[in-house]
A and B are shown apart, each in its own frame.
With several copies, the nearest count.
Chain A
Amino acid sequence: MMDDLKALYQEVIIDHSRSPRNFGSLESANCSAAGVNPLCGDELTLHCILDADEIIQDIRFVGRGCAISLASASIMTEMLRGKTKTEAEKLFDQFHARVTGTADGPLVDIGKLEVLSGVREFPTRVKCATLAWHTALAAINKTDEQVTTE
Protein backbone atom coordinates (compact mmCIF):
# COMPACT_ATOMS: atom_id res chain seq x y z
CA MET A 1 0.00 0.00 0.00
CA MET A 2 1.10 3.52 -0.55
CA ASP A 3 3.28 5.31 1.92
CA ASP A 4 1.32 8.52 1.86
CA LEU A 5 -1.79 6.63 2.96
CA LYS A 6 0.18 5.13 5.81
CA ALA A 7 1.46 8.58 6.72
CA LEU A 8 -2.09 9.90 6.70
CA TYR A 9 -3.68 7.14 8.70
CA GLN A 10 -1.09 6.79 11.43
CA GLU A 11 -2.02 4.80 14.47
CA VAL A 12 -2.32 7.97 16.52
CA ILE A 13 -4.95 9.25 14.14
CA ILE A 14 -6.95 6.06 14.13
CA ASP A 15 -6.74 6.01 17.89
CA HIS A 16 -7.92 9.62 18.32
CA SER A 17 -10.72 9.03 15.86
CA ARG A 18 -11.91 5.96 17.73
CA SER A 19 -11.63 7.49 21.18
CA PRO A 20 -11.75 11.22 20.73
CA ARG A 21 -10.57 13.24 23.75
CA ASN A 22 -12.74 16.00 25.15
CA PHE A 23 -15.76 14.60 23.44
CA GLY A 24 -19.00 15.76 24.99
CA SER A 25 -20.90 18.88 25.85
CA LEU A 26 -19.94 21.59 28.28
CA GLU A 27 -22.82 22.96 30.31
CA SER A 28 -21.02 26.06 31.43
CA ALA A 29 -19.64 26.98 28.02
CA ASN A 30 -19.71 30.68 27.26
CA CYS A 31 -19.02 30.29 23.59
CA SER A 32 -20.05 27.69 21.05
CA ALA A 33 -20.17 27.21 17.33
CA ALA A 34 -21.35 24.60 14.87
CA GLY A 35 -19.45 23.58 11.78
CA VAL A 36 -20.44 21.54 8.79
CA ASN A 37 -18.38 19.96 6.07
CA PRO A 38 -20.68 20.06 3.06
CA LEU A 39 -18.42 17.60 1.30
CA CYS A 40 -19.75 14.72 3.39
CA GLY A 41 -22.41 16.23 5.57
CA ASP A 42 -20.35 15.84 8.73
CA GLU A 43 -21.25 18.16 11.54
CA LEU A 44 -19.38 19.21 14.60
CA THR A 45 -20.32 21.41 17.51
CA LEU A 46 -17.76 23.04 19.69
CA HIS A 47 -18.17 24.45 23.17
CA CYS A 48 -15.63 26.32 25.21
CA ILE A 49 -15.08 28.46 28.21
CA LEU A 50 -13.10 31.57 27.52
CA ASP A 51 -12.14 33.54 30.58
CA ALA A 52 -11.77 37.28 31.00
CA ASP A 53 -8.13 37.14 29.89
CA GLU A 54 -9.19 35.36 26.71
CA ILE A 55 -7.69 32.13 27.91
CA ILE A 56 -9.41 28.92 26.88
CA GLN A 57 -10.25 27.29 30.18
CA ASP A 58 -12.06 24.33 28.76
CA ILE A 59 -13.04 23.08 25.34
CA ARG A 60 -15.14 20.12 24.19
CA PHE A 61 -16.83 18.95 21.04
CA VAL A 62 -19.55 16.65 19.80
CA GLY A 63 -20.29 15.47 16.29
CA ARG A 64 -19.36 12.85 13.81
CA GLY A 65 -16.98 12.65 10.96
CA CYS A 66 -14.20 10.89 9.22
CA ALA A 67 -11.04 9.78 10.99
CA ILE A 68 -9.21 12.91 9.95
CA SER A 69 -11.78 15.35 11.22
CA LEU A 70 -12.37 13.52 14.50
CA ALA A 71 -8.66 13.11 15.17
CA SER A 72 -8.06 16.72 14.32
CA ALA A 73 -10.81 17.89 16.67
CA SER A 74 -9.58 15.61 19.39
CA ILE A 75 -5.94 16.72 19.17
CA MET A 76 -6.93 20.33 18.80
CA THR A 77 -8.96 20.36 22.00
CA GLU A 78 -6.04 18.85 23.84
CA MET A 79 -3.72 21.52 22.58
CA LEU A 80 -5.98 24.53 22.96
CA ARG A 81 -6.85 24.13 26.59
CA GLY A 82 -4.96 26.80 28.46
CA LYS A 83 -4.03 28.78 25.35
CA THR A 84 -5.05 32.36 24.75
CA LYS A 85 -7.21 33.31 21.82
CA THR A 86 -4.22 34.83 20.10
CA GLU A 87 -2.10 31.76 20.64
CA ALA A 88 -4.91 29.62 19.26
CA GLU A 89 -5.11 31.74 16.14
CA LYS A 90 -1.40 31.63 15.60
CA LEU A 91 -1.32 27.88 16.03
CA PHE A 92 -4.08 27.49 13.49
CA ASP A 93 -2.16 29.56 10.98
CA GLN A 94 0.88 27.36 11.41
CA PHE A 95 -1.20 24.22 11.22
CA HIS A 96 -3.04 25.46 8.16
CA ALA A 97 0.20 26.29 6.40
CA ARG A 98 1.48 22.82 7.18
CA VAL A 99 -1.53 20.85 5.95
CA THR A 100 -1.89 22.91 2.81
CA GLY A 101 1.82 22.78 2.13
CA THR A 102 2.00 26.57 1.95
CA ALA A 103 4.44 27.08 4.82
CA ASP A 104 7.60 28.89 3.79
CA GLY A 105 10.78 29.19 5.77
CA PRO A 106 11.92 26.57 8.29
CA LEU A 107 9.24 24.31 9.73
CA VAL A 108 7.90 25.54 13.01
CA ASP A 109 7.16 23.09 15.77
CA ILE A 110 3.45 22.40 15.83
CA GLY A 111 3.73 19.70 18.46
CA LYS A 112 1.24 16.91 18.36
CA LEU A 113 -0.42 18.40 15.33
CA GLU A 114 2.51 17.05 13.41
CA VAL A 115 0.70 13.72 13.03
CA LEU A 116 -1.80 15.43 10.77
CA SER A 117 0.75 16.79 8.35
CA GLY A 118 0.20 13.81 6.05
CA VAL A 119 -2.96 15.59 4.94
CA ARG A 120 -0.69 17.75 2.80
CA GLU A 121 -0.66 14.98 0.20
CA PHE A 122 -4.48 14.87 0.15
CA PRO A 123 -5.74 18.30 -0.87
CA THR A 124 -9.39 17.20 -0.85
CA ARG A 125 -9.05 16.31 2.81
CA VAL A 126 -7.71 19.63 4.05
CA LYS A 127 -11.27 20.63 4.83
CA CYS A 128 -11.64 17.62 7.11
CA ALA A 129 -8.48 18.51 8.99
CA THR A 130 -9.44 22.15 9.45
CA LEU A 131 -13.17 21.95 10.18
CA ALA A 132 -12.67 21.76 13.93
CA TRP A 133 -10.29 24.69 13.83
CA HIS A 134 -12.58 26.92 11.81
CA THR A 135 -15.36 26.07 14.23
CA ALA A 136 -13.20 26.73 17.28
CA LEU A 137 -12.10 30.12 15.99
CA ALA A 138 -15.70 31.02 15.23
CA ALA A 139 -16.63 30.05 18.79
CA ILE A 140 -13.91 32.03 20.53
CA ASN A 141 -14.53 34.98 18.26
CA LYS A 142 -18.20 34.64 19.16
CA THR A 143 -19.25 34.56 15.56
CA ASP A 144 -22.78 33.36 15.57
CA GLU A 145 -22.92 32.13 12.03
CA GLN A 146 -22.58 28.51 11.22
CA VAL A 147 -19.19 27.64 9.84
CA THR A 148 -18.61 25.71 6.67
CA THR A 149 -15.39 24.73 5.08
CA GLU A 150 -16.50 25.78 1.58
Chain B
Amino acid sequence: MQSALTIDRERIATAAIDPTAIREQFPILSEIVYGKNLVYLDNAASSQKPLAVTQALDKYYASQHANVHRGVHALSDRATEAYENARKLACQFVNAEHVREIIFVRGTTEGLNLVASSYGRHRLKPGDEILVSEMEHHSNIVPWQIIAEQTGSRVRMIPMDDSGQIIQEEYLELLHEKTAIVAITYVANSLGTVNPIKQMTQRAHDVGAVVVVDAAQAAPHLEIDVRELECDFLTLSGHKMYGPTGIGILYGREELLDAMPPYQGGGEMIKRVTFSGSEYAEIPHKFEAGTPNIADSVGFGEAAKFMWNIGFDAIASHEHQLLEYCHERAEEFSDIRIFGMAPQKSGVFAFEIDGIHAHDIGTIVDREGVAIRVGHHCAMPVMRHFNVAATARASFAVYNSIEDIDRLFDALDNARELFNG
Protein backbone atom coordinates (compact mmCIF):
# COMPACT_ATOMS: atom_id res chain seq x y z
CA MET B 1 0.00 0.00 0.00
CA GLN B 2 1.22 3.49 -0.77
CA SER B 3 1.81 5.99 1.96
CA ALA B 4 -0.66 8.81 2.34
CA LEU B 5 1.62 11.38 0.78
CA THR B 6 1.66 9.70 -2.57
CA ILE B 7 -2.09 9.32 -2.97
CA ASP B 8 -2.74 9.53 -6.64
CA ARG B 9 -5.74 11.84 -6.78
CA GLU B 10 -5.52 12.06 -10.51
CA ARG B 11 -5.88 8.37 -11.02
CA ILE B 12 -9.00 8.54 -8.91
CA ALA B 13 -10.38 11.53 -10.72
CA THR B 14 -10.19 9.77 -14.08
CA ALA B 15 -12.34 6.88 -12.88
CA ALA B 16 -15.19 5.75 -15.08
CA ILE B 17 -17.75 7.09 -12.64
CA ASP B 18 -18.58 10.68 -11.95
CA PRO B 19 -20.22 10.60 -8.54
CA THR B 20 -21.41 14.19 -8.89
CA ALA B 21 -23.55 13.33 -11.91
CA ILE B 22 -24.82 10.22 -10.22
CA ARG B 23 -25.69 12.06 -7.02
CA GLU B 24 -28.25 14.12 -8.88
CA GLN B 25 -30.28 10.99 -9.31
CA PHE B 26 -30.50 10.57 -5.53
CA PRO B 27 -32.57 13.34 -3.96
CA ILE B 28 -31.79 12.22 -0.42
CA LEU B 29 -28.10 12.99 -0.89
CA SER B 30 -28.97 16.69 -0.85
CA GLU B 31 -30.34 16.41 2.68
CA ILE B 32 -28.78 18.62 5.31
CA VAL B 33 -28.25 17.04 8.70
CA TYR B 34 -27.20 19.21 11.65
CA GLY B 35 -26.48 21.95 9.14
CA LYS B 36 -24.04 19.76 7.19
CA ASN B 37 -24.33 18.14 3.79
CA LEU B 38 -25.09 14.50 4.22
CA VAL B 39 -22.28 12.03 3.58
CA TYR B 40 -23.88 8.62 3.39
CA LEU B 41 -21.45 5.81 4.09
CA ASP B 42 -23.87 3.25 5.48
CA ASN B 43 -24.54 1.53 2.18
CA ALA B 44 -23.93 -2.00 3.37
CA ALA B 45 -26.89 -1.58 5.71
CA SER B 46 -29.07 -0.14 2.97
CA SER B 47 -28.31 1.95 -0.09
CA GLN B 48 -30.22 5.01 -1.25
CA LYS B 49 -32.57 4.89 -4.26
CA PRO B 50 -32.21 6.64 -7.61
CA LEU B 51 -35.15 8.53 -9.11
CA ALA B 52 -35.48 5.82 -11.74
CA VAL B 53 -36.57 3.43 -9.00
CA THR B 54 -38.98 5.70 -7.13
CA GLN B 55 -40.46 6.93 -10.40
CA ALA B 56 -41.05 3.36 -11.46
CA LEU B 57 -43.05 2.84 -8.27
CA ASP B 58 -45.08 5.96 -8.97
CA LYS B 59 -45.69 4.94 -12.54
CA TYR B 60 -46.75 1.48 -11.51
CA TYR B 61 -49.31 2.77 -9.04
CA ALA B 62 -50.51 5.52 -11.35
CA SER B 63 -51.15 3.37 -14.41
CA GLN B 64 -50.60 -0.34 -13.93
CA HIS B 65 -51.75 -1.59 -10.56
CA ALA B 66 -54.14 -4.47 -9.98
CA ASN B 67 -53.69 -7.91 -8.54
CA VAL B 68 -51.62 -10.23 -10.72
CA HIS B 69 -52.03 -13.56 -12.46
CA ARG B 70 -55.73 -14.24 -12.14
CA GLY B 71 -57.41 -11.29 -13.79
CA VAL B 72 -58.69 -10.96 -17.33
CA HIS B 73 -59.02 -7.18 -17.24
CA ALA B 74 -56.58 -4.70 -18.69
CA LEU B 75 -54.96 -3.50 -15.48
CA SER B 76 -54.50 -6.99 -14.16
CA ASP B 77 -52.80 -7.81 -17.42
CA ARG B 78 -50.51 -4.77 -17.14
CA ALA B 79 -49.63 -5.59 -13.54
CA THR B 80 -48.91 -9.21 -14.38
CA GLU B 81 -46.74 -8.20 -17.27
CA ALA B 82 -44.84 -5.67 -15.15
CA TYR B 83 -44.33 -8.25 -12.44
CA GLU B 84 -43.23 -11.07 -14.73
CA ASN B 85 -41.00 -8.69 -16.61
CA ALA B 86 -39.31 -7.84 -13.32
CA ARG B 87 -38.72 -11.54 -12.83
CA LYS B 88 -37.02 -11.69 -16.23
CA LEU B 89 -34.76 -8.79 -15.26
CA ALA B 90 -33.95 -10.54 -11.99
CA CYS B 91 -33.17 -13.69 -13.92
CA GLN B 92 -30.70 -11.77 -16.08
CA PHE B 93 -29.29 -10.07 -13.02
CA VAL B 94 -28.01 -13.36 -11.63
CA ASN B 95 -27.71 -15.01 -15.05
CA ALA B 96 -30.02 -17.89 -14.20
CA GLU B 97 -30.96 -20.27 -16.98
CA HIS B 98 -34.73 -20.29 -16.40
CA VAL B 99 -37.04 -17.50 -15.33
CA ARG B 100 -38.90 -19.98 -13.17
CA GLU B 101 -35.80 -20.40 -11.05
CA ILE B 102 -36.38 -16.89 -9.66
CA ILE B 103 -38.59 -16.47 -6.61
CA PHE B 104 -39.45 -13.06 -5.25
CA VAL B 105 -38.95 -12.82 -1.48
CA ARG B 106 -38.86 -9.96 1.03
CA GLY B 107 -35.09 -10.00 1.11
CA THR B 108 -32.06 -12.14 1.83
CA THR B 109 -33.31 -13.13 5.26
CA GLU B 110 -36.51 -14.54 3.84
CA GLY B 111 -34.62 -16.22 1.00
CA LEU B 112 -32.36 -18.01 3.47
CA ASN B 113 -35.29 -18.99 5.69
CA LEU B 114 -37.17 -20.35 2.69
CA VAL B 115 -34.27 -22.58 1.75
CA ALA B 116 -33.51 -23.61 5.33
CA SER B 117 -37.12 -24.45 6.05
CA SER B 118 -38.29 -25.93 2.78
CA TYR B 119 -35.16 -27.57 1.41
CA GLY B 120 -33.92 -28.32 4.91
CA ARG B 121 -37.07 -30.06 6.07
CA HIS B 122 -37.13 -32.06 2.85
CA ARG B 123 -33.53 -33.08 2.89
CA LEU B 124 -31.96 -33.02 6.38
CA LYS B 125 -31.72 -36.18 8.44
CA PRO B 126 -30.46 -36.60 12.00
CA GLY B 127 -26.69 -36.47 12.01
CA ASP B 128 -26.45 -34.42 8.83
CA GLU B 129 -24.26 -31.38 8.92
CA ILE B 130 -24.70 -27.82 7.76
CA LEU B 131 -21.50 -25.84 7.34
CA VAL B 132 -21.70 -22.12 7.96
CA SER B 133 -18.71 -19.81 7.96
CA GLU B 134 -17.60 -17.76 10.92
CA MET B 135 -18.14 -14.52 8.99
CA GLU B 136 -21.83 -15.04 8.26
CA HIS B 137 -24.50 -12.48 8.95
CA HIS B 138 -26.99 -13.69 11.58
CA SER B 139 -29.48 -14.25 8.77
CA ASN B 140 -27.24 -17.01 7.48
CA ILE B 141 -26.79 -18.60 10.90
CA VAL B 142 -30.07 -18.51 12.82
CA PRO B 143 -32.30 -20.15 10.15
CA TRP B 144 -29.87 -23.07 10.05
CA GLN B 145 -29.87 -23.37 13.82
CA ILE B 146 -33.67 -23.47 13.81
CA ILE B 147 -33.96 -26.15 11.13
CA ALA B 148 -31.07 -28.12 12.61
CA GLU B 149 -32.94 -28.30 15.88
CA GLN B 150 -36.11 -29.42 14.13
CA THR B 151 -34.40 -32.10 12.06
CA GLY B 152 -31.72 -33.35 14.43
CA SER B 153 -28.97 -32.12 12.18
CA ARG B 154 -26.05 -29.99 13.24
CA VAL B 155 -24.58 -26.61 12.35
CA ARG B 156 -20.78 -26.50 12.21
CA MET B 157 -18.64 -23.42 11.84
CA ILE B 158 -16.01 -22.99 9.14
CA PRO B 159 -13.38 -20.82 10.84
CA MET B 160 -11.72 -17.76 9.37
CA ASP B 161 -8.25 -16.34 9.91
CA ASP B 162 -7.33 -12.93 11.27
CA SER B 163 -7.26 -11.32 7.85
CA GLY B 164 -10.94 -12.25 7.59
CA GLN B 165 -10.62 -15.12 5.11
CA ILE B 166 -12.21 -18.53 5.36
CA ILE B 167 -9.50 -21.08 6.16
CA GLN B 168 -9.83 -23.34 3.16
CA GLU B 169 -7.93 -26.24 4.71
CA GLU B 170 -10.35 -26.27 7.61
CA TYR B 171 -13.24 -26.14 5.18
CA LEU B 172 -11.93 -29.22 3.38
CA GLU B 173 -11.47 -30.97 6.71
CA LEU B 174 -15.06 -30.28 7.68
CA LEU B 175 -16.52 -31.47 4.38
CA HIS B 176 -17.51 -35.11 4.37
CA GLU B 177 -20.37 -37.34 3.35
CA LYS B 178 -22.54 -36.11 6.23
CA THR B 179 -22.35 -32.55 4.92
CA ALA B 180 -25.76 -31.77 3.44
CA ILE B 181 -25.60 -28.02 3.06
CA VAL B 182 -22.87 -25.39 2.87
CA ALA B 183 -24.12 -21.86 3.53
CA ILE B 184 -21.66 -19.09 2.79
CA THR B 185 -21.67 -15.42 2.11
CA TYR B 186 -20.32 -14.14 -1.17
CA VAL B 187 -19.15 -10.91 0.46
CA ALA B 188 -18.93 -10.52 4.25
CA ASN B 189 -20.83 -7.48 5.47
CA SER B 190 -18.63 -6.89 8.50
CA LEU B 191 -15.27 -7.29 6.74
CA GLY B 192 -15.72 -6.90 3.00
CA THR B 193 -14.06 -10.26 2.25
CA VAL B 194 -15.04 -11.71 -1.14
CA ASN B 195 -15.16 -15.49 -0.77
CA PRO B 196 -14.04 -17.97 -3.47
CA ILE B 197 -17.56 -19.28 -4.04
CA LYS B 198 -16.92 -21.25 -7.18
CA GLN B 199 -14.05 -23.17 -5.71
CA MET B 200 -15.91 -23.83 -2.47
CA THR B 201 -18.97 -24.95 -4.38
CA GLN B 202 -17.01 -27.49 -6.36
CA ARG B 203 -15.58 -28.98 -3.19
CA ALA B 204 -19.04 -29.12 -1.63
CA HIS B 205 -20.45 -30.85 -4.69
CA ASP B 206 -17.66 -33.39 -4.46
CA VAL B 207 -19.21 -34.67 -1.25
CA GLY B 208 -22.79 -34.25 -2.48
CA ALA B 209 -23.66 -31.15 -0.49
CA VAL B 210 -25.65 -28.25 -1.90
CA VAL B 211 -24.37 -24.70 -1.63
CA VAL B 212 -26.47 -21.76 -0.52
CA VAL B 213 -24.94 -18.37 -1.28
CA ASP B 214 -25.83 -15.22 0.65
CA ALA B 215 -25.29 -12.55 -2.00
CA ALA B 216 -26.76 -9.63 -0.04
CA GLN B 217 -23.45 -7.77 -0.06
CA ALA B 218 -22.31 -9.02 -3.43
CA ALA B 219 -25.32 -7.78 -5.39
CA PRO B 220 -24.49 -4.08 -5.03
CA HIS B 221 -20.90 -4.53 -6.16
CA LEU B 222 -20.22 -7.60 -8.28
CA GLU B 223 -21.68 -9.10 -11.41
CA ILE B 224 -23.42 -12.24 -10.17
CA ASP B 225 -23.47 -15.34 -12.34
CA VAL B 226 -25.07 -18.38 -10.76
CA ARG B 227 -24.09 -20.59 -13.68
CA GLU B 228 -20.47 -19.58 -13.42
CA LEU B 229 -20.54 -20.02 -9.63
CA GLU B 230 -22.35 -23.36 -10.02
CA CYS B 231 -24.16 -22.71 -6.74
CA ASP B 232 -27.48 -24.34 -5.92
CA PHE B 233 -29.23 -21.45 -4.23
CA LEU B 234 -28.42 -17.75 -4.10
CA THR B 235 -30.34 -14.95 -2.51
CA LEU B 236 -30.07 -11.18 -2.25
CA SER B 237 -31.93 -8.02 -1.12
CA GLY B 238 -33.15 -5.23 -3.37
CA HIS B 239 -32.74 -2.52 -0.76
CA LYS B 240 -28.96 -2.95 -0.66
CA MET B 241 -28.61 -2.60 -4.44
CA TYR B 242 -30.49 0.68 -5.04
CA GLY B 243 -33.89 -0.99 -5.03
CA PRO B 244 -36.92 -0.60 -2.74
CA THR B 245 -37.29 -2.12 0.70
CA GLY B 246 -39.38 -5.26 1.00
CA ILE B 247 -38.14 -7.11 -2.06
CA GLY B 248 -35.36 -9.51 -2.93
CA ILE B 249 -34.87 -12.66 -4.91
CA LEU B 250 -34.04 -16.26 -4.33
CA TYR B 251 -32.48 -18.24 -7.14
CA GLY B 252 -32.71 -22.01 -6.88
CA ARG B 253 -31.80 -24.74 -9.32
CA GLU B 254 -34.93 -26.00 -11.02
CA GLU B 255 -34.65 -29.66 -9.97
CA LEU B 256 -34.17 -28.66 -6.37
CA LEU B 257 -37.07 -26.23 -6.31
CA ASP B 258 -39.30 -28.76 -8.06
CA ALA B 259 -38.62 -31.34 -5.39
CA MET B 260 -39.09 -29.05 -2.42
CA PRO B 261 -42.34 -28.68 -0.48
CA PRO B 262 -43.86 -25.19 -0.52
CA TYR B 263 -42.81 -22.66 2.08
CA GLN B 264 -45.94 -20.63 2.73
CA GLY B 265 -49.44 -21.77 1.72
CA GLY B 266 -52.19 -19.66 0.25
CA GLY B 267 -53.50 -18.07 -2.90
CA GLU B 268 -51.40 -18.14 -6.10
CA MET B 269 -49.41 -21.20 -5.02
CA ILE B 270 -52.06 -23.82 -5.58
CA LYS B 271 -53.60 -25.68 -8.44
CA ARG B 272 -56.58 -26.98 -6.57
CA VAL B 273 -57.81 -26.77 -2.98
CA THR B 274 -60.25 -29.09 -1.28
CA PHE B 275 -60.69 -29.86 2.37
CA SER B 276 -59.24 -33.26 1.75
CA GLY B 277 -56.02 -31.82 0.40
CA SER B 278 -54.45 -29.36 -1.99
CA GLU B 279 -52.27 -29.58 -5.07
CA TYR B 280 -49.50 -27.10 -5.53
CA ALA B 281 -48.69 -24.95 -8.54
CA GLU B 282 -45.48 -25.15 -10.54
CA ILE B 283 -42.38 -23.15 -9.65
CA PRO B 284 -41.90 -20.26 -9.17
CA HIS B 285 -45.54 -19.81 -8.10
CA LYS B 286 -45.35 -22.69 -5.65
CA PHE B 287 -43.10 -20.49 -3.52
CA GLU B 288 -45.01 -17.24 -3.90
CA ALA B 289 -48.10 -17.63 -1.75
CA GLY B 290 -50.43 -14.65 -1.55
CA THR B 291 -50.39 -11.36 -3.34
CA PRO B 292 -46.75 -10.62 -4.09
CA ASN B 293 -45.01 -7.32 -3.51
CA ILE B 294 -45.76 -6.30 -7.08
CA ALA B 295 -44.70 -2.64 -7.02
CA ASP B 296 -41.38 -3.29 -5.34
CA SER B 297 -40.61 -6.13 -7.74
CA VAL B 298 -40.99 -3.62 -10.54
CA GLY B 299 -38.71 -1.27 -8.57
CA PHE B 300 -36.23 -4.10 -8.20
CA GLY B 301 -36.09 -4.55 -11.97
CA GLU B 302 -35.46 -0.84 -12.32
CA ALA B 303 -32.59 -1.03 -9.82
CA ALA B 304 -31.01 -3.79 -11.88
CA LYS B 305 -31.22 -1.58 -14.96
CA PHE B 306 -29.71 1.31 -13.03
CA MET B 307 -26.69 -0.85 -12.24
CA TRP B 308 -26.38 -2.14 -15.80
CA ASN B 309 -26.44 1.39 -17.08
CA ILE B 310 -23.46 2.28 -14.97
CA GLY B 311 -21.76 -1.03 -15.61
CA PHE B 312 -20.31 -3.52 -13.16
CA ASP B 313 -16.73 -2.80 -14.14
CA ALA B 314 -17.18 0.88 -13.50
CA ILE B 315 -18.89 0.20 -10.18
CA ALA B 316 -16.17 -2.17 -9.05
CA SER B 317 -13.30 0.03 -10.04
CA HIS B 318 -14.89 3.12 -8.51
CA GLU B 319 -15.54 1.41 -5.19
CA HIS B 320 -12.16 -0.19 -5.22
CA GLN B 321 -10.54 3.20 -5.51
CA LEU B 322 -12.58 4.51 -2.62
CA LEU B 323 -11.51 1.54 -0.55
CA GLU B 324 -7.86 1.95 -1.44
CA TYR B 325 -8.03 5.61 -0.61
CA CYS B 326 -9.56 4.76 2.75
CA HIS B 327 -6.81 2.28 3.51
CA GLU B 328 -4.22 4.83 2.48
CA ARG B 329 -5.67 7.53 4.65
CA ALA B 330 -5.93 5.11 7.55
CA GLU B 331 -2.18 4.66 7.35
CA GLU B 332 -1.76 8.24 8.52
CA PHE B 333 -3.05 7.18 11.91
CA SER B 334 -1.43 4.76 14.28
CA ASP B 335 -4.61 4.50 16.37
CA ILE B 336 -6.74 2.94 13.62
CA ARG B 337 -7.15 -0.79 13.44
CA ILE B 338 -8.78 -2.18 10.29
CA PHE B 339 -10.90 -5.34 10.36
CA GLY B 340 -10.79 -7.33 7.16
CA MET B 341 -7.56 -7.40 5.18
CA ALA B 342 -8.40 -10.05 2.62
CA PRO B 343 -6.77 -9.44 -0.79
CA GLN B 344 -10.20 -9.93 -2.39
CA LYS B 345 -12.26 -7.29 -0.68
CA SER B 346 -15.23 -5.18 -1.65
CA GLY B 347 -16.20 -1.68 -0.52
CA VAL B 348 -16.30 -2.09 3.25
CA PHE B 349 -13.97 -0.22 5.59
CA ALA B 350 -14.43 -1.59 9.11
CA PHE B 351 -12.25 -0.19 11.85
CA GLU B 352 -11.83 0.84 15.43
CA ILE B 353 -9.91 3.68 17.03
CA ASP B 354 -7.83 3.08 20.11
CA GLY B 355 -9.63 4.12 23.24
CA ILE B 356 -12.83 5.28 21.56
CA HIS B 357 -15.78 2.93 21.43
CA ALA B 358 -17.34 2.54 17.98
CA HIS B 359 -20.64 3.75 19.30
CA ASP B 360 -19.13 7.06 20.34
CA ILE B 361 -17.42 7.38 16.97
CA GLY B 362 -20.76 6.89 15.26
CA THR B 363 -22.43 9.63 17.23
CA ILE B 364 -19.58 12.06 16.80
CA VAL B 365 -19.22 11.69 13.03
CA ASP B 366 -23.00 11.82 12.65
CA ARG B 367 -22.94 15.39 13.96
CA GLU B 368 -20.67 16.19 11.03
CA GLY B 369 -23.28 14.77 8.68
CA VAL B 370 -21.34 11.56 8.15
CA ALA B 371 -23.47 8.41 8.35
CA ILE B 372 -21.59 5.22 9.18
CA ARG B 373 -22.73 2.07 10.94
CA VAL B 374 -21.37 1.08 14.36
CA GLY B 375 -22.14 -2.06 16.28
CA HIS B 376 -21.92 -5.78 15.72
CA HIS B 377 -23.30 -5.58 12.16
CA CYS B 378 -25.41 -8.67 12.82
CA ALA B 379 -22.18 -10.64 12.81
CA MET B 380 -21.53 -11.37 16.48
CA PRO B 381 -19.25 -14.34 15.74
CA VAL B 382 -16.96 -11.99 13.81
CA MET B 383 -16.91 -9.59 16.75
CA ARG B 384 -16.07 -12.50 19.02
CA HIS B 385 -13.27 -13.58 16.71
CA PHE B 386 -11.62 -10.20 17.05
CA ASN B 387 -12.64 -9.87 20.70
CA VAL B 388 -14.48 -6.61 20.22
CA ALA B 389 -18.07 -5.76 21.02
CA ALA B 390 -18.48 -3.46 18.09
CA THR B 391 -16.69 -1.89 15.15
CA ALA B 392 -17.25 1.20 13.03
CA ARG B 393 -17.95 0.61 9.35
CA ALA B 394 -17.98 2.88 6.32
CA SER B 395 -19.31 1.20 3.19
CA PHE B 396 -19.48 2.55 -0.33
CA ALA B 397 -21.85 3.02 -3.20
CA VAL B 398 -21.51 4.51 -6.66
CA TYR B 399 -22.44 7.98 -5.43
CA ASN B 400 -19.64 8.20 -2.88
CA SER B 401 -16.61 10.30 -3.61
CA ILE B 402 -13.10 10.87 -2.36
CA GLU B 403 -14.45 13.97 -0.61
CA ASP B 404 -16.85 11.81 1.35
CA ILE B 405 -13.93 9.88 2.72
CA ASP B 406 -12.06 13.05 3.56
CA ARG B 407 -15.17 14.20 5.41
CA LEU B 408 -15.14 10.94 7.36
CA PHE B 409 -11.50 11.30 8.33
CA ASP B 410 -12.02 14.92 9.34
CA ALA B 411 -14.92 13.86 11.50
CA LEU B 412 -12.80 11.17 13.13
CA ASP B 413 -10.44 13.94 14.23
CA ASN B 414 -13.29 15.39 16.22
CA ALA B 415 -13.64 12.13 18.06
CA ARG B 416 -9.97 12.14 18.89
CA GLU B 417 -10.16 15.71 20.07
CA LEU B 418 -13.08 14.99 22.38
CA PHE B 419 -11.53 11.88 23.83
CA ASN B 420 -7.86 12.69 23.86
CA GLY B 421 -7.82 16.42 23.49
Contact = CB atoms under 8 A, between A and B. Distances in A.
Interface in A39-78: 39-43, 64-68
B240 interface: no
Main DSSP-derived SS at the A contact region: mixed
Interface string B401-420: 00000000000001001110
A31 B82 CA distance: 39
Given A39-B375, A40-B374, A125 B363 contact: yes
Given A5-B414, A124-B77, A125-B72, A150 B389 contact: no
Nearest to A64: B389
Contacts of B11: none
A128 B72 CA distance: 11
Interface string B355-395: 11111100110010000001110001001000001100000
Given A36-B271, A38-B271, A150 B417 contact: no
B375 A36 contact: no
Nearest to A67: B360
A123 interface: yes
Nearest to B374: A40
Contacts of B376: 40-41
Interface stretch (A6-14, A91-99, A101-109): A6-14
B285 interface: yes
A146 interface: yes
B139 to A, nearest CB: 15
Interface in B271-307: 271-272, 279, 281-282, 285
B71 interface: yes
A5 B70 contact: no
Contacts of A125: 72, 359, 363
B34 to A, nearest CB: 7
Given A14-B418, A40-B389, A2 B367 contact: yes
24 contacts: A2-B34, A5-B367, A5-B414, A5-B418, A8-B363, A14-B418, A18-B355, A38-B271, A39-B72, A39-B359, A39-B375, A40-B374, A41-B390, A42-B359, A42-B389, A43-B389, A64-B389, A68-B359, A123-B77, A124-B71, A125-B359, A146-B271, A148-B271, A150-B285
Given A1-B417, A150-B282, 7 more contacts: A1-B414, A9-B360, A41-B380, A41-B390, A42-B389, A66-B360, A124-B71
